[in-house]
Amino acid sequence: MLVRFVTSNFLSFNEEVELNMIAASFKSHRQHLYDSKVKVLKGGAIYGPNGSGKSNLVKAIEFFKNMVAAGELTKSINDYKFKLNADNRDKPTLFEFEFLIDGFFPVKQMYVYGVEINGRTILAEWLYNTQPDKKPQMIFERKWNQENGIHVQFGKGYKKESKKFTLLVELLEENLLRPHELLLGKLDILKDVLEKIGAVTLKKVWEYIAKKIVVIHPSTKFHQLIPLISTNEKFKEEINKFLKAFQVGIQELRVEKSTFEQYFRDYSSFERQKIIDRLENTPNGKILENTPNGEVLIEREDERIVVKWVMAIHKDNKGKKVPFLLTSESDGTRRLIDFLPLMVGLFYRTKTTFIIDEIDLSIHLKLLYTIVKKIMEEQHTGGQLIFTTHESQLLDMDIFRPDEIWFMEKDVQSGSSQLYSLSEFKPRTDLNIRKGYLNGRFGAIPFTKELEEITINNGIQK
């Protein structure tokens, strides 16, 4: 579970901003808290006007997640720095996650992992065990400077006291760990020279950030839909249950199959061979391909190549099943289909943190309200839902706690985005949050005075 995310000098964030998922002392909605030594919140809704920085916060999380997944800084950070402060050109960018994951015992362990980067160089990297009632325990630190290069240090209890370990650290510092590569990305090299608790910890930390943080943008498509429906009957059963409940006319999603030759019969031999070459160069023998009729899965079955795709099954006026391509469905319906893994993931306790930018895009308010309310009031979820939105109808104390509602706005003078929680205003439980927000009580709303005062002339003079 995500506990905190901190960033600075990234896109519209000049100084440090912090999204904090630790519960405050409010007594409402106890089912929103995941019990551990630290009370972590189930959800977070982030409000603010266009251009305030809401999407930039999502992009910051995604940049960090992708860097960890790749095990390296694949591109320079310089183009992403805050550009309205000239001093920031030479300052590093900061990313830091604090999170809870399962430990060796039936308790959760809390860790903080962060980096400071400049250009395509990782200046610092750190991982600490941060139990609330104990002093933070270093797992590793890595630092770089122009004069001495890379320095790596592991904490006591995580490293094996041996010549082999000492030699490996020296090799890492001299040439195995390059300035743009993450030490966290060297799991295969480190696993044999760390104590078991250290090797398992590094793997769990990497897996949480790389796999258990899921970012969904307005244009994000769920690319594992076909493989999951094809191979996981339970998943298929659950998503069809949710689809029926959405009442968008779809009775079920079904996988269709064809031979490669039949599906791509209108492609040239050159185009077909390019696809086959990609398939042959894929270790698992499966690839996803975008086609005019939507995304398809191409894989080997025995001695032949087959193509699979998903159809949406409707019923006609006589009750007969009628298949439709997903590309024939409305934008809102396809958006809901892309949300299905989120629904299944939260209700079936995958312990995933879903972060959605513009959750209200293309979805009817009543349906969105019901989905969010259902997720938040459910007693037995196993993950987190954090989203950005403009939809003020979700500003409802029946759905959220005050510490789950956040506001983003830009400072007029500096142009830097600032993030703050509704809990800072200590609102009464009977306060109409939506009305207060729209009246400007909490800030983070558009300034419309200049727009209202624009004079419109009749025609454009040459």
Span 95-133, pLDDT tens digits: 999 999 876 555 678 999 999 999 999 999 999 999 877
Nearest to 344 by CA among 423, 232, 197: 232
**Confidence grade of residue 461 (pLDDT, cut at 50, 70, 90):** low
Calpha distance 165→147 (Å, rounded): 24
Q: In the prediction, which pLDDT does 460 show?
A: 59
Report the 3 state secondary structure along 122-174.
EEEEEEEECCCCCCCEEEEEEEEECCCEEEEEECCCCECCCHHHHHHHHHHHH
Say which amino acid occupies 231.
T
Q: Give the list of residues 6+ apart from residue 365 with CB closer than 8 angstroms, or none.
A: 391, 393
Nearest to 44 by CA among 449, 376, 391: 376
Calpha distance 419→407 (Å, rounded): 6
Cβ atoms 94, 7 nearer than 8 A: yes
Q: In the prediction, which pLDDT does 283 show?
A: 85
Span 237-251, pLDDT tens digits: 888 888 888 888 999
Answer whether residue 159 shows pLDDT above 70.
Answer: yes
Q: In the prediction, which pLDDT does 59 show?
A: 96
Whole-prediction pTM = 0.88
On average, the pLDDT of the chain sits at 88
Answer whether residue 458 shows pLDDT above 70.
Answer: no
Q: In the prediction, which pLDDT does 315 show?
A: 92
**Confidence grade of residue 219 (pLDDT, cut at 50, 70, 90):** confident
Answer whether residue 450 shows pLDDT above 70.
Answer: no
Span 34-85, pLDDT tens digits: 877 788 999 999 999 989 999 999 999 999 999 999 999 999 999 999 999 9
Calpha distance 50→69 (Å, rounded): 30
Calpha distance 347→380 (Å, rounded): 7
Domains of the chain from N-terminus onward: 1-212+351-462 (3.40.50), 225-332 (no CATH)
Cβ atoms 386, 352 nearer than 8 A: no
Q: Which residue has the higher pLDDT, 411 or 224?
A: 411
Calpha distance 1→357 (Å, rounded): 19
Answer whether residue 361 shows pLDDT above 60.
Answer: yes
Q: What would the mean pLDDT of 135-161 be, rounded to a whole number?
A: 90
Q: In the prediction, which pLDDT does 457 show?
A: 66
Cβ atoms 125, 184 nearer than 8 A: yes
Q: What would the mean pLDDT of 388-410 be, rounded to a whole number?
A: 91
Answer whether residue 453 shows pLDDT above 80.
Answer: no
Q: Give the list of residues 6+ apart from residue 375 with CB closer than 8 angstroms, or none.
A: 42, 43, 343, 346, 347, 381, 385
Answer whether residue 456 shows pLDDT above 70.
Answer: no
Q: Which residue has the higher pLDDT, 224 or 241?
A: 241
Span 168-193, pLDDT tens digits: 999 999 989 999 999 999 998 888 88
Q: In the prediction, which pLDDT does 195 show?
A: 84
